[in-house]
Amino acid sequence: MLDPIPLPFQGMGSRKRLLMTAFTQTQLKRLMAVHGWSGTVLGLLLYAVVLTGIVVVFAHELEVWSIGGTSHSHPFGPGLDAKVRPFIDKMSKGYQREISINDGIRGELTVFPHANVLNSATGWNEAYGSMFILNADTGELLQRRDGFVYHDTHWYVDSALEHFLVDLHVQLYVPSPWGLILTGVLGLLMISTGISGLILHRHMIRDLFVPERSGQRLVSFRDRHVLAGTWGLIFAFLLGFTGAYFSFSGTVVYPLLLETAFGGDQDKASETLYAPLVMSDPSSARLASLDEMIADSTMRAGAPVNFISIKNYGRRDAVVRIYHPAPSGELVYKQTVYDGTTGAFQYFKPDVGRLPSSGSLINGLMWPLHTGDFAGVLSKAVWVGLGSAMAFVVISGLRLWVRRREDEPLWQRFGRAVTVVGYGLPVAMLMCAYAYFLALGAAADEFWWTPAGFLIGLTPGVVPGFVARDEDSLRRFYRLLLGIGLILLPVVRMATGGLDWATAIAQGQGTVLSVDLTLLLLGAGLVWWARRMHALPTPEPTPAE
């Protein structure tokens, strides 16, 4: 979406000059066309993925905020064994083959004895069993759910808002697997536009270190696009690669591997790739103390437990796997394996396979590198900042492409569409948050109203684009709308039954307070920006560079 490199290449270093002279003028024009048209055709979808990704970097914090805080209990503390064992023992042996134990954001303990059963509706082997929701402190049964429980989001999702926003980012709310394939293609697009942009601009590295000067070329819209793209170039490659990896691994790579290496045997593939090696012994044996294994695993991993998997419960070949988030100073989560009968530690299991490998390490690094989830709030904030730069690069690139064709009515309408999507998408996302909280307050189905709120929000997000007189007034309206909406959202959250600030402070719910304050600051900034834009004189139109 940027200007082609002028030839000859004066003032360039010898290596750079050698790189550029490897391309003819015709090849550069073709590369420019590929860079511009690929971004134009898929740019708005790429912007949607990037913008939603900026939000869901803080998915956990949004989840805690949206449900009114998190419990301070310790579900995997001492006494877990006595709480979960009675519910596992009452299940038939067929459902004791696989048992998962995890904690919820509200502090409940979920115990799920199950078997992998063919689901005729999907044609895949899926988890079928009884899910017990327990009070983490007392072990009291709160709820029981039976069947293919992962087919009903009400049964295992704590926040409909967080779930919807993550799904919107991961597959643009397009049915699987097509949504994942689409976002995977967009990830590859991010990589390709970054590479072509790097080739097409000879001064990108030099311009990084030139200060802005009033009236000089760096204050131009084009140069801001180049600057943002240059600073975020490595980040664009990182996000594009890891995003495409997640999208294609389950939709393309795994099915191909399943057919070619395992003859379509899903259970065999799962056992080989993800399960520890076990010598079969179906004779009866009591499972060792989970409390002792948890204590030992926590000491070895240097991080708290967040998930437990038990295989072959009640048999001599039982295996217990205990998962931990990455300890301080590391990026990849830990998984320990224990002999279920003796409780003896076996080994640290890699993410994929049974022995440490570079492939398993790369697979384990994908999540923290894609989400910024490795150094707490600080790393996430950096990811949000770099993601915001990428969103600006996409939108500014589209606007530059339109400015060069501003005399053509069709491109004028496309330019208006860029503005509408650029501001209308966050308006619709904001409306889905309002719908979520209003549904909670009215005891309605928030899992239905949250996506419905997004669709309803498309009206105030799109209609102004058809009635606004000019671009400046349209952008000013959108900024005011978003700013006021962000300011009022914490008020609506509290009015519909959410924690007030005094209670949040008293209960130590810092996440709730932090998200509210962030929304207020962002809203105030947008309102100020809109009012400042209104106060400034309208500049004379200038031709695109």
Residue 212 has pLDDT above 80, yes or no: no
- Alpha helices, H only, 404-470: 409-441, 446-462, 464-467
pLDDT confidence tier of residue 206, bands split at 50, 70 and 90: low
**C-beta atoms surrounding 264 within 10 Å:** 10
Q: If 0-12 CB within 10 Å is exposed, 13-18 middle and 19+ buried, where does residue 471 land?
A: middle
492-544 per-position pLDDT tens digit? 999 999 999 999 999 999 999 999 999 999 999 999 999 886 655 554 544 44
Helix, strand, or coil (residue 187): helix
15-57 per-position pLDDT tens digit? 444 444 466 777 777 777 777 777 777 889 999 999 999 999 9
Res 203: pLDDT: 64
227-267 per-position pLDDT tens digit? 777 778 889 999 999 999 999 998 999 899 889 988 888 77
In 3D space, the residue among 71, 62, 77, 151 whose CA is nearest the CA of residue 114 turns out to be 151
Q: Are the CB atoms for 479 and 527 separated by under 8 Å?
A: yes
**Structural domain boundaries of the chain?**
1-67+159-271+358-404, 80-151+272-357, 410-545
Which residues touch 232 (CB under 8 Å, ≥6 apart)?
A: 386, 389, 390, 393
Residue 342 has pLDDT above 70, yes or no: yes
Q: Are the CB atoms for 428 and 451 separated by under 8 Å?
A: no
**C-beta atoms surrounding 218 within 10 Å:** 16
Res 234: pLDDT: 87
Chain-wide mean pLDDT for the chain? 87
Region 396-418: mean pLDDT is: 84
Res 1: pLDDT: 40
289-321 per-position pLDDT tens digit? 999 999 999 999 999 999 999 999 999 999 999
Positive or negative torsion for Cα 442, 443, 444, 445: positive
As given in the structure block, the two tokens for residue 158 are 């704590």
Q: Which of 87-101, 174-188, 207-221 has the lowest mean pLDDT?
A: 207-221
Res 125: pLDDT: 83
**Neighbouring C-alpha atoms within 13 Å toward the C-beta of 366:** 18
Residue 76 has pLDDT above 80, yes or no: yes
Residue 14 has pLDDT above 50, yes or no: no
d(CA 353, CA 42): 37
